[in-house]
Structure formats: structure tokens, C-alpha cells
Amino acid sequence: MTRCDVAVVGAGPAGLFAAVYAGMRGLSVAVVDALPEPGGQITALYPEKLIRDVAGFPAVKGRDLVRGLVEQLDQFSPRMLLGHRATALDDLADGGLRLGFDDGTALEAGAVVVTGGIGTFSPRKLPCGEEFLGRGLTYFVRDPAELAGRRVLVVGGGDSALDWAETLQHTADVTLVHRRDTFRAHQHTVGQVLSGPATVLTNATVDRLHGENRVTRAVLRDTVSGETTEVACDHVVAALGFVANPGPLLQWGLATHDRKIVVDAALRTSRLGVFAAGDICTYDGRVPLIAVGFGEAATAVNHAAVHLDPAASTFPGHSTDGPAPAARPLRVPA
């Protein structure tokens, strides 16, 4: 059994920054995530992708953003419970909360900040060629350098597909295939791909993959005429999006809407002592951006600090006023 002031459920960007802010408030903090590494969706899906909408960075790789957040957090000596899937949330007699994990262990906290993002996620599968998974077919790109000089077929028309096409076209021979003639991705990225060296094939789907030990060619079908053509390729990146599952979070008695946790202006949920921030939460007018999640994380923790100590102020003071405070004794409310 472990005990802390604030338990943060979710180690994505919003969760890591929430833990940072708990440390800045002098609160002991534990960070819980089912994944074995911090970073959430960034680490799992696009560690090498450039992120362009984080304040202060013209562009920053996902991996570098996570590394910076972890380094920022390390100064507060958090308890990192990675590889722990939170399955239950119960009230304690002293006003605190108990998080139960799938391995039978538990964590007690005075307040909980849920930053679970989209929950667990799995890629939308390419309708064909699953037998080549790991042998030329992938759903995520862990290291773009491994594809340098290769003939890469990128499948999809959303942000992920266009981001990877734009990133890889500078070092690889890229062909982008999309089943429509319009794209769902950010228009700036679409323009970079269309004006770059990548070959773009619209109104086309992947009908079959062929090869011996690895993929060597793909059969494409024109969605208008039905005609097929073959394209040589060494690697297929099926960036078709993913299916999200919030999992046990929706069974914790929290008010939800459209599979998101409903919060008020203070990021409070419908359960006392439980707050939520990042893409797992919803309120009127919310915009699903990392930058927004950072602000929500700080707001949630500052209100959690008042929940733990009603005499405290939601305003933490300016970070430039002095050194970060040392961790204070537990403030689990009575």
C-alpha cells in the first residue's frame, strides 16, 4: 500500500505536467499509467514526429517533449507506477481515495487527477496484409532513420498519415495512398506533402500486399474505375487512425458525456476529490490540444491543493519567486 497527496492517473503530457505542478505546490505525488514508459500516446504512436503547437517550441519531437517533462518532474522525486493499470476507485473513511490496480496492489491519495487521454488505443487495421505485420507492415513509426533510403508506402489521409509522409519524404522514397481526393489532415501539412517529393495517389486503396519474407509490392485499386496497379515498396505504414477505449475510468461513478469525463471550471468531476484534465475530460468549448491540456493540468492541481487544505490558495505564486518548495506532509482531508 502506497500513500501520497495527489495521484495522477495517466503519464501523457498533461499527466506529467500535473505531477510537476503538484511538486511545485509541495505535494507528494504518484503517477500511474498502464504503459511501461511515460509519454502516453506520444511515446506509443509518434515519438519522432514534430509537434508544432507547444508554446515556446517552433517544433519539438514528441520524444524530446516527453524527455523534458520527465526531467522537469524528476526534481520532485515522484513515485512512478508505470505498467500499473488502475481498475477501481473507492472512497476512504478519512476522505481520501483508494486506487486499485489490476495486479492486486493499491494506492491511497488525498486527491486524484485523471489525465488518461483517450485511454487505451489500438490501430485501425489495414484490411489486407496482416500476415506482413512486423515484416514490412507497421502501424507506427518508432524510428524514421530505419526507413531512410527505403520505398515507403504511407496509407491514410488524416494527420498521422500526412505527418509521416511529410517527415519521411526527405529521407525515403514515399508514396502516399488515400481512398479519397480530399484530406482530413491539417492544411499546412497537406500543402507540404503535395509540394514535396512524395508521390500522392488519391482515390486509391490497398487491395493486396505481396512478398516472400517481407513486403515487396502492393496492389492498389482505383476507387472510381476499379482498376488495379502495382507499386513497389519495402515498407508500408498504415496510418489509418486508432480505436480508443477509456476502459475502467468510465466505471468509476464519474459523470460522463460521449465517453469523456465531465468537469466544471475548476476541473472538478462529479466525485469529491477527483479532478480531470487533458483529452479525457470535456466541457463546453474545449479544444483538444496538448497546449490546452497543460493549462488544465495546472488548474486541476491548484484546485486539488485547496481540496487537501481549504486554507490554501488556488494561486500557487509565481515560479520565479523562489526555489521550489520541499514536499510537505500528507494532506489527506479528514
Residues of the binding site for FAD: 33, 41, 46, 86, 121, 279, 320
What cell does 161 get? 498519415
Contacts of 101 by beta carbon, 8 Å cutoff, 6+ apart: 32, 81, 84, 85, 86, 87, 107
Which helix (H) or strand (E) segment holds residue 187: the answer is helix 187-194
State the DSSP string of 67-100: HHHHHHHHTT--EEEET--EEEEEE-TTS-EEEE
Length of the chain: 334
282 in the Ramachandran plot: left (φ > 0), alpha (ψ -120 to 50) or beta? beta
Annotated binding site: 33, 41, 46, 86, 121, 279, 320
Backbone angles phi, psi at 111, to 5 degrees: -150, 155
Q: Would you tell me how many other CB atoms lie within 10 Å of the CB of residue 25?
A: 27
DSSP secondary structure code for residue 273 in this structure:
T
The residue ranges of DSSP E strands in 27-160, in sequence order, are 29-33, 50-51, 60-61, 79-82, 86-91, 97-101, 106-114, 120-123, 137-138, 151-155
Would you tell me the crossing angle of helices 62-74 and 13-24 to the nearest 10 degrees? 20
